[in-house]
Amino acid sequence: DSGVTQTPKHLITATGQRVTLRCSPRSGDLSVYWYQQSLDQGLQFLIQYYNGEERAKGNILERFSAQQFPDLHSELNLSSLELGDSALYFCASSVGGTGSDQPQHFGDGTRLSIL
Amino acid sequence: AQRVTQPEKLLSVFKGAPVELKCNYSYSGSPELFWYVQYSRQRLQLLLRHISRESIKGFTADLNKGETSFHLKKPFAQEEDSAMYYCALSPFSGQNFVFGPGTRLSVLP
């Protein structure tokens, strides 16, 4: 058990809808990272938050947004969903945020299926 | 920009054979490098990091700065080693992690 909790485990919805994925980091970790893993794209970094502030941005679409709350949990919002958004979304956390030299601990992921 | 390449998408070896998963990186400074493993239907787990120079589950990886490589090796592969392996780079400059595309290791009986 990595200590990173993601909910829900599975999500099935339709195109055009909006969903929210939730992540609770390990106790003591200040950074939260979001990744998208699909069969054809591999593991793609989306965004990182550190202590409530956006720290780094990767290949995140404008339809997607995220935030980190004062209790350090994070939410990833996906809107106007398309079939291609079907993927496994991982959250990871680490102690640090500057230098990024800390290993990341991953959650079990949320499997999003768009019908 | 930093980049991680893993030239093999799939690597199949027989049980007991040596295995080497290749990882090359491009980065102008001195990054920290990691190997993550993802077993079937499980989360990514940290396998090892170069800074700690440890051996986990029989795997080792040596950072070769001259060749900018961080290949993962195991002398005798086991069936339970079958998994997806990701090499990752973390620059010390505050930028985000970069993961390689991954190599699927299949250890045949």
pLDDT of residue A97: 67
Each residue's pLDDT tens digit, A20-58: 999 999 999 999 999 999 877 778 889 999 999 998 888
Q: Report pLDDT digits (tens) over A54-103.
A: 988 888 999 999 999 999 999 999 999 999 999 999 999 988 765 455 67
Q: Residue A42 is inside which H or E element, if any? A: strand A42-50
Contacts of B101 in chain A (CB under 8 A): 42-43
- Of B42, B45, B92, which is closest to A101 when you measure between CB atoms? B92
Kind plus residue range of the DSSP H or E element containing B34: strand B32-38
> Are β-strands B44-49 and A42-50 bridged in parallel, bridged antiparallel, or unpaired?
unpaired
Residue A4 confidence class, pLDDT cut points 50, 70, 90 = very high
Answer yes or no: do B98 and A45 touch at CB < 8 A: yes
Per DSSP, the three-state class of B101 is: coil
Strand duo A31-38 + A42-50: pairing: antiparallel
Structure tokens at B85: 């392996």
| B92 confidence band (pLDDT: 50, 70, 90) | low
Lookup: tokens for B56: 């986990």
Which secondary-structure segment (H or E) carries B92? none
- Alpha-carbon distance A100 to nearest alpha carbon in chain B (angstroms): 5
With tokens 């593991």, the residue in question is A43
Pick from B38, B53, B101: nearest CA to A41: B101
